[in-house]
């Protein structure tokens, strides 16, 4: 039997490849030939060929983002979330082997269902949005950096802004960057729609996004920006999905996905934007522009607050453009102190979000921290759009944070009489000499960015470190999942456990040879627990053996900490613990621990953490242990040690 699989996750990093690895291991164990295509952040790897698909007995898709299924028509197809690929790979393969999988048919949504699986916990709206954002980001990076480079090196100051002379190579580079930017909103909308309705939604989504970004089609100079693109994407996706569900005759079925659905959906979405959504937006922004013009001289602080909020609200969208065009018009009238606060506000969203992502590991995943570097760079060159990916992923927390920062920076610039003689923003204009009161300009940018960093750090929830949390869940979802203290999917698992030497980096930071017993005497679970607690008490790690044991047994009552593979990890976060410690014991004959796989526990790690430790400190230890203990060779080496020194050296590899 030959099985094919595809794995993919929104960020395209850890989950994608861990699911692939576990499926391959499970296939090898079951004696099944399996090939896995990964659709990760660097693109498709190990791509499935037409011949392989034709010869396959079944296909597994373990993904949390849209995977095009058209090539699998007529094949047995099992669609699950990427976590199922990580946690239950053998079960998925066995279901395909037993034929408990539907045959995928074109135009049928039934095969997209999880076939009895629990619906994924991830919000589908979020999943669709992330699908669009993941494809949009490269266009922002290309456009922003190329334009920034061209302006910095080839730009010439004029009353109308930084201008690159015609015929210059830098003009060509700027044009390439501008071309990339023109695709940004259509791509966002297109892939949102594709996530909802599969391939038939792609074309109407792109068409709707193009219309949203080009306000001239409905009487707006600014257009609807990326917010309009999001609306267009969802509108196109659900319109295409609705049309797709209409039952048609056999003669029309072949042309539905390539003619009828794209044409009708594009027409409906386009007309809605032109005649329903677009015109009110155009009128709204005309009123806004007139209102801003009427505010001059009345209250400079209030005007600065409003301009800062508008610039950062949609980051290059219509609200941003109204404020920017207003500032540009004032330059033409010789008033440079309106564009000064705007120039500050323009760069604070990307600089603030870039800094926040790079320095705050508890709030941003690794992929976001990497993206933060490009975002920060765009901010230096006044490319507000650099913050869009962060805002699109978490608008309710990010947008208020960047608005607050831009408003503060704008007010400081207004009070400091910062002027800008060109229609552009960011530190680049100050470096090129286009800014009056440069010191105040940089003070405004620094303070405003700091406000954004602080606010977003306070508002955003902690994120699980993907690879580490997955390792815990993959090893023992049942044994850890019901523990009220252990919630890998919902809580931060940052390395926030402090030891006497500093931050916990490896297991031997809290495990010494004195905390080891290589010949455990106990023959029952409770006897082993008592023996290990006595070691903690002997080494001054706990104040009360009875109180700590109560916490250990309460955890065991929730569900067994025997995670399988001859391993048990009893643990407790207790007031009786004086210092974080781990006791390691070996029971060569094994002891019944009610493990999930039925095997007796031979390697026992008891984790003791003070209740006062911030965060979920015991998770850090669990993560380190579970990740390393998945290695068969490592477990065998541990069981073979004869001295505490050998064990200590081996366990020093756990980090």
Active-site residue (options: 15, 424, 571, 618): 571
CA–CA separation, 340 and 437 (whole Å): 10
Q: E strand or H helix at 44, and its extent?
A: strand 43-45
CA 394 – CA 457 distance, rounded (Å) = 13
d(CA 392, CA 128): 11
Q: Encode burial over 122-140: b for 16+ CB neighbours within 10 A, e otherwise.
A: beeeebbbbbbbbbbbebb
Residue in 121, 122, 134 with CA at minimum distance from that of residue 10: 134
- 215 with 221: CB under 8 angstroms? yes
Note if 571 is an active site residue: yes
Question: In what helix (H) or strand (E) does residue 184 lie, and over which residues does it extend?
Answer: helix 169-197
Helix pair 466-475, 14-30: axis angle to 10 deg? 30
- Active-site pick, 9, 128, 347, 618: 9
Angle value at C-alpha 397, between 395 and 400, nearest 5 degrees: 90
Which of 313, 344, 350 is closest to 327 using CA atoms?
344
Copy the structure tokens of residue 169: 């190579």
Residue written as token pair 């998770």: 619
Name the strand (E) or helix (H) holding 609: strand 601-610
Report whether 575 contacts 583 (CB < 8 A): no
DSSP state, residue 189: H
Q: In angstroms, how far is the first alpha carbon of the chain from the final one? A: 39
Least Cα distance to 472 among 607, 633, 647, 652 occurs for 607
Where do we find the tokens 């230096």?
A: 380
DSSP string, 514-547: GGEESS---SSHHHHHHHHHHHHHHTT-BS-HHH
With CA atoms as reference, report the closest residue to 525 among 602, 593, 479, 594: 593
Q: What angle do CA 201, 205, 211 make, to 5 degrees?
A: 155
Q: Which two tokens mark 258? A: 């390539």
Task: Find all residues with CB under 8 Å of 58, minimum gap 6, and list them.
Answer: 3, 4, 75, 76, 77, 78, 96, 97, 101
Q: How many CB atoms lie within 10 A of CB 305?
A: 19
Which tokens in the block code for residue 362?
């508890």
How far apart are alpha carbons 582 and 509 in whole angstroms?
9
438 Cβ partners below 8 Å, 6+ apart? 430
| Alpha-helix residue ranges (DSSP H) falling in 421-507 | 427-431, 438-459, 466-475, 477-481
Catalytic residues: 9, 571
């Amino acid at each position: 039997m030959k099985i094919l699989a595809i794995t993919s996750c929104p960020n395209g990093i850890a989950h994608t490849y861990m699911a692939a690895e576990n499926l391959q291991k499970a296939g090898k164990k079951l004696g099944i030939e399996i090939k896995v295509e990964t659709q990760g952040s660097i693109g498709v790897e190990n791509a499935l060929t037409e011949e392989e698909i034709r010869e396959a007995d079944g296909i597994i898709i373990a993904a949390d983002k849209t995977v095009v299924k058209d090539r699998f028509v007529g094949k047995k197809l099992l669609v699950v979330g990427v976590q199922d690929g990580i946690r239950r790979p053998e079960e998925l393969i066995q279901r395909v082997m037993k034929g408990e999988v539907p045959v995928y048919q074109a135009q049928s949504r039934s095969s997209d269902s999880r076939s009895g699986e629990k619906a994924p916990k991830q919000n589908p709206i979020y999943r669709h949005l992330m699908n669009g954002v993941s494809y949009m980001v490269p266009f922002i990076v290309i456009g922003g950096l190329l334009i920034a480079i061209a302006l910095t090196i080839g730009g010439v100051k004029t009353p109308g802004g930084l201008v690159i002379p015609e015929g210059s190579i830098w003009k060509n580079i700027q044009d390439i960057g501008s071309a990339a930017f023109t695709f940004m909103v259509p791509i966002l909308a297109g892939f949102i729609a594709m996530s909802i309705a599969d391939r038939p939604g792609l074309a109407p989504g792109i068409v709707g996004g193009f219309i949203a970004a080009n306000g001239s089609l409905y009487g707006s100079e600014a257009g609807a920006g990326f917010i309009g693109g999001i609306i267009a994407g969802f509108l196109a996706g659900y319109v295409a999905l609705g049309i797709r569900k209409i039952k048609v005759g056999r003669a029309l079925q072949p042309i539905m996905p390539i003619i009828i659905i794209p044409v009708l959906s594009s027409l409906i979405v386009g007309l809605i934007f032109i005649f329903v959504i677009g015109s009110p937006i155009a009128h709204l922004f005309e009123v806004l522009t007139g209102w801003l013009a009427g505010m001059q001289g009345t209250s400079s602080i209030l005007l600065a607050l409003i301009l800062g909020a508008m610039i950062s609200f949609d980051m290059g969208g219509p609200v941003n453009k109204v404020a920017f065009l207003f500032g540009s018009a004032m330059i033409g009238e010789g008033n440079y102190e309106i564009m000064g606060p705007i120039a500050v506000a323009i760069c604070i969203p990307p600089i603030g979000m870039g800094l926040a992502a790079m320095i705050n590991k508890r709030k941003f995943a690794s992929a976001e921290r990497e993206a933060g570097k490009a975002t920060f760079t765009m901010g230096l060159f006044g490319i507000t759009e650099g913050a869009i990916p962060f805002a699109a992923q978490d608008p309710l927390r990010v947008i208020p944070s960047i608005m607050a920062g831009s408003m503060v920076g704008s007010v400081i610039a207004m009070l400091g009489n910062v002027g800008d003689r060109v229609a552009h923003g960011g530190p680049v204009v100050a470096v090129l000499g286009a800014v009056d009161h440069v010191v105040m300009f940089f003070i405004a940018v620094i303070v405003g960015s700091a406000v954004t960093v602080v606010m977003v750090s306070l508002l955003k929830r902690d994120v699980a470190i993907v690879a580490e949390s997955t390792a815990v869940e993959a090893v023992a979802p049942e044994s850890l999942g019901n523990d009220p203290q252990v919630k890998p999917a919902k809580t931060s698992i940052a390395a926030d456990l402090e030891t006497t030497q500093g931050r916990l980096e490896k297991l031997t930071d809290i495990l010494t040879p004195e905390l080891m017993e290589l010949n455990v005497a106990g023959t029952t679970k409770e006897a082993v627990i008592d023996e290990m607690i006595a070691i903690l008490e002997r080494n001054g790690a706990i104040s009360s053996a009875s109180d700590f044991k109560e916490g250990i047994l309460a955890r065991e009552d929730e569900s067994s900490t025997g995670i399988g593979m001859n391993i048990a990890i009893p643990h407790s976060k207790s007031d009786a613990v004086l210092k974080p410690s781990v006791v390691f014991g070996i029971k060569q004959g094994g002891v019944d621990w009610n493990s999930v796989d039925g095997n007796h526990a031979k390697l026992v790690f008891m984790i003791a953490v003070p209740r006062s430790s911030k965060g979920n400190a015991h998770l850090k230890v669990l993560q380190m242990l579970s990740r390393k203990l998945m290695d068969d060779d490592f477990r065998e080496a541990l069981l073979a040690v004869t001295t505490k020194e050998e064990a200590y050296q081996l366990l020093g590899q756990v980090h």
